[in-house]
Amino acid sequence: MNTLLITGVTGFLGGAALEAILNSHSDVNLLLLVRADNGEAAVARVKENLRKFNIDEEKLTKIAPHNILLGDLAYPESFLDDARLDKVTHVLNCAAVASFGSNPLIWKVNVEGTLQFARRMAKVEGLQRFLHVGTAMSCSPEPDSLVAESAEFRERAEHLVEYTHSKSTIEQLMQQQLPRLPLIVARPSIVVGHTRHGCQPSSSIFWVFSMGLMLQKFLCSMEDRIDVVPVDYCANALLLLLDAPLVQGEVIHISAGEENSVRFADIDYAMAKALEQAPVGDRYAQVSYETLVKMRRELKGIFGPCNERLMLKAMRLYGAFATLNVRFSNDKLLSIGMPKPPRFTDYIDRCVQTTRGLSIPQQMAVDFK
């Protein structure tokens, strides 16, 4: 790997990937796409995010203004003429608007801007790999299934949120329109926390589990399983995929798989142990969304000051994902030498510790930006 361009480095997964690269690849030339007014401000943004991963300050000295490609995927024309792009050998495209809200930038960044960027990189003679980070949920999986790793999408599939629809669309457009792009698609399942730092880098999605157990009721059953991976495992898998011998267009899950997905009952037990309290256990009730709506006036008493409408929206959206009870096959990743992933319950205590004192509304803000 000679020159690596990374997008999304001020985000959760992109930051974890950059941290992993700084700790292991001292010889790679880095080019980082960052939104900022100037190079110094961009470097400051990148370093601020990396410090959430407790990176050594000495490693941060490797990031300087010459590593910065100033730009924004919402307005790709601002950077696509930069001559440094023609020297790039590998791309790790982590940038996306990963909001479960109705952010107007979702389509503009995740589809339109990303396609323009990919089209530009397809013209680079020495480009060896364009590793695009999608999401395993983009295939709108059938409930109660083990989802295979496939570039095929179900026709007329319904998406629960605009985000997964956008990620599905851009995958298909790149595969169809850019045959020269050395594309590999990595589809993480549900990325929650970090095995060492818990939710310090980001509280994204962890609050869903806390919320359900605080309510003692949710849309899924305690026997339903969920496929969760920590961000550091996901980052290490991306590094492996940047250089692994793979067929162009390959789709690879970064997931817990059948073996390491966990039941909600296991999450309840592990969280209770971390909090030094009794599990919810038999007090838990699987309910309909309508039942939760009827509890609307009780929410502030349970969660403190909150936007009741947003809380209910979150319960509806995340509840729909939780009730799918799907696992994503990780056979391809394991076959090229990636170790098995840790279970969510193996590091959930770190997530509990790092969210102490944070309310559910505070934790969920990152997912509804």
Whether residue 285 is contained in a domain is answered as no
- The per-residue pLDDT for 140 is 65
Whether residue 89 is contained in a domain is answered as yes
Contacts of 115 (CB under 8 A, 6+ apart): 170, 173, 174, 177
SS3 302: helix
Per the CB < 8 A criterion, the answer to whether 360 and 308 are in contact is no
- The per-residue pLDDT for 4 is 97
Tokens of 282: 């038999």
Per the CB < 8 A criterion, the answer to whether 130 and 89 are in contact is no
Q: Distance between CA atoms of 204 and 368, rounded to whole angstroms? A: 10
Contacts of 217 (CB under 8 A, 6+ apart): 284, 285, 286, 287, 291, 292
Residues of the chain with pLDDT under 70: 101, 140, 151, 153-160, 369
Whether residue 292 is contained in a domain is answered as no
Query: Can you give 170-224 as a three-state secondary structure string?
Result: HHHHHHHHCCCCCEEEEEECEECCECCCECCCCCCCHHHHHHHHHHCEECCCCCC
Tokens of 269: 């037990």
Task: Report phi then psi at 97, rounded to 5.
Answer: -90, 100
Whether residue 355 is contained in a domain is answered as no
Per the CB < 8 A criterion, the answer to whether 328 and 166 are in contact is no
Cα-based torsion angle of the residue sequence 220, 326, 233, 71 in order, rounded to the nearest 10 degrees: -90
226-250 burial, b if ≥16 CB within 10 A, otherwise e?
A: bbbbbbbbbbbbbbbbbebebeeee
Whether residue 346 is contained in a domain is answered as no
* Structural domain count of the chain: 1
Question: Given the DSSP bridges, would you call strands 262-263 and 225-226 parallel, antiparallel or unpaired?
Answer: antiparallel
Which CATH number belongs to the domain containing residue 239 in this structure? 3.40.50.720
Per the CB < 8 A criterion, the answer to whether 90 and 131 are in contact is yes
Domain that residue 148 falls in:
3-194+227-260
- The per-residue pLDDT for 157 is 62
Whether residue 136 is contained in a domain is answered as yes
Tokens of 38: 């100037």
Whether residue 283 is contained in a domain is answered as no
Whether residue 244 is contained in a domain is answered as yes
Nearest alpha carbon to residue 342 among 198, 203, 212, 239: 198
Q: Report CA Rg, the chain.
A: 20
Contacts of 282 (CB under 8 A, 6+ apart): none
Q: Distance between CA atoms of 231 and 341, rounded to whole angstroms? A: 11
Q: Distance between CA atoms of 60 and 43, rounded to whole angstroms? A: 9
36: DSSP letter: S
